[in-house]
Chain A
Amino acid sequence: MEILVCVKRVPDTSENEITINKGGNDIERDDLVYSVNEWDNYAVEEAIQIVDKVGGSVTVVTVGDSESEEILRREMAMGANNGLLLTDDAFEGSDGKGIATILKAAVGKGKYDLILTGAQADEGAAQVGGMLAAMMDYPYASLVNRIEVGDGKLKVGREIEGGNQEMNEIELPCVLSIQTGINEPRYVGIRGIRKVASVEIPAMGAGDLGLDAGSIGAGAAKVKRVDYFVPDTGEGAEMLTGSTEEIIAKLIEYLKSKGGLK
């Protein structure tokens, strides 16, 4: 099975305190720790496990700047066979449709039976996989937490509300968005990274992909972020301050009065 996994380089929200810059047009990017989108890591692990079972190869692809190459390398250290960087100034400012359009062009340059994305990325949109599938006229299933490979088709579980699992049969080729918890992504050590450090990763731009500028980038985007802002959320929590002893004493009083201590 030839599998393409779409991955994105994102600020790691569990490592970073996100703050908005002075102009309100971006977050503070200095000193941010970046990593591969959490959901994408599960998608790559799943692809590797499928190929281990039934043969084939795993290609990881990203739309991003030159720095995005590092996450392709990381996923190759995990065991992905090939990397593909889609990069071009013309891609900048693309909305979800734009990203899906670029990925579609890349899919057209290869021959893939299965395309995986993460369920969602840093913008919490959960959109690129479903858009790509519809553009390709491939069937789509989101939030997949189980895959069984059959003949020309897959049996997939979708995790829905309450943790219930909706089982579906889906024909290949198809696009699936992967939910966390489907597997346990393997650990990538320094040695693994070193092994792929000098592997050549091909890059493609708008010209190579046969994309005309009118369908991608800021010019084509019909959904645009205007600014970042700090919402007025009312009072929020009463923050307890003082020494740890003082804070704990206040908290215990609260817990007693609210029935939190038995």
Chain B
Amino acid sequence: MADIFAYIKHADGVAEDSALELMVAAKKIDPAAKVMAVVTGTGANLDKVCKEMAAVYNAVWKIDNAALAYPNAEVVRKALANVLPADGIVLLSHDTFGMDLGPGLSVKMNSTFVADIVGIEGVDGATLKIIRQEFSGQASTHVTCDISGGTVLNLRPGVFQPDGVKAGGDVVDKSGAAGDLSAKRKYLEMVAAEAGDVDITKSEVLVSVGRGIEDQENIELVFDLAKAMGADVSCSRPIVDAKWLEKARQVGTSGQTVKPKVYMAMGISGSFQHLGGIKGNPFIVAVNKNPKAPIFQVADVGIEANILEFIPALTEAIGNL
């Protein structure tokens, strides 16, 4: 079995949560594998992260270069393709960086690629069997992947929960092998997301609306319900894309992270990018006309109904209390 390499994302000298998740996934692929953390960056912050990871992984491969100060996937890809062995198993978190890096890295390493993995069944010879989802989580699949010539695997964030497993090893400086890191894409700057009128990250009760609301004029129904409940209104991404509500109300990985006591998901299917923004284990109520909607797997209470009828009826009943 080839060695496993986990690419560690970090900022300000601290590794992201996914750093521990990748170790859990690696052990699912092969409990006996040697698992290396690969950490790129530069200077004191890089050393801090390497030290943190040396307590967890079997070894840390450090790649220090000024060109890696900001994790530009085009530059990181070159470094990894030069440093890692061709038959290596590379693990990335399936976040906006992993999506940027993984597919191209697998081409440059001439290896296979599987995105958004939610389960690992194990290895049989040179074949890895894994679980994925398709159609926004409405169907699950088993997928086989040939890993004889190496592979790049993107793992869904939050699925492989850290279990405290710690190996511990040395930091190995691989900076000399990074090679030419010039790239045709240059990082310029970060533009912070705009703040809105409401701060849904502080709300205790959220009535959250998704594409199931069908029409802009129906959004009013949601505000009426929220008012009756004393709640704030949040939403899924398509509602913001359609410009029916402002971006600051979007719950999810590319929106806000909320921690309410009660979360009412109205006409929201329950994609992992949406659920990724709901933290603190709230009481989730889901109303959806599709009994197979993935949201029902994570909700506490589910109601199969047309929200265009259900929301006004609920608003009225609460008003009559």
Contacts and interface: CB of A to CB of B under 8 A. Distances in A.
A170 to B, nearest CB: 4
Interface string A150-175: 00000101111111111111110010
B64 interface: no
Interface in A196-221: none
B194 to A, nearest CB: 8
A111 B247 CA distance: 37
A162 B248 CA distance: 10
A229 B185 CA distance: 41
Given A180-B238, A237-B300, A171 B184 contact: yes
A189 interface: no
A169 B107 CA distance: 23
A229 B313 contact: no
Given A165-B190, A167-B190, A223 B283 contact: no
Contacts of B172: none
A252 interface: yes
B99 to A, nearest CB: 5
Given A27-B139, A229-B142, A239-B302, A159 B96 contact: yes
Contacts, number: 264
Contacts of A237: 284, 286, 296-302
B240 interface: yes
* A interface bracket (residues with beta carbon within 8 Å of B): 35 or more
Contact of A233 (B102, B134, B297): B297
A240 B301 contact: yes
A155 to B, nearest CB: 7
B253 A161 contact: yes
Nearest to B107: A134
B296 A252 contact: no
A118 to B, nearest CB: 12
The CB with the most chain A CB atoms within 10 A, among B100, B192, B237, B314, is that of B100
Contact of A164 (B185, B192, B302): B192
Interface residues of B, number: 96
A5 interface: no
A185 to B, nearest CB: 10
Given A126-B115, A161-B96, A258-B283, A131 B107 contact: yes
Given A239-B296, A261-B229, A261-B318, A165 B193 contact: yes
B205 A130 contact: no
A130 B104 CA distance: 5
Contacts of A188: none
Interface string B182-200: 0111111111110000000
A123 interface: yes
Given A162-B254, A180-B237, A222-B146, 9 more contacts: A140-B73, A141-B100, A159-B254, A161-B254, A168-B187, A171-B185, A229-B142, A240-B302, A254-B285
25 contacts: A14-B211, A19-B292, A124-B115, A125-B116, A130-B107, A131-B103, A134-B77, A134-B107, A138-B184, A158-B96, A163-B250, A165-B190, A165-B191, A167-B190, A168-B185, A170-B184, A223-B112, A223-B145, A225-B142, A226-B141, A231-B131, A244-B313, A248-B317, A249-B317, A262-B205
Interface of B: 72-74, 77, 95-97, 99-108, 112-116, 129, 131-136, 138-146, 183-193, 204-205, 211, 229-231, 237-238, 240-243, 247, 250, 253-257, 261-262, 264, 269, 283-286, 290-292, 296-305, 309-310, 313-314, 317-318, 321
Interface of A: 11, 13-14, 17-20, 27, 96-97, 100, 119-120, 122-131, 133-135, 138-143, 155, 157-171, 174, 177, 179-181, 184, 222-231, 233-234, 236-240, 244-245, 247-249, 251-252, 254-255, 258-262
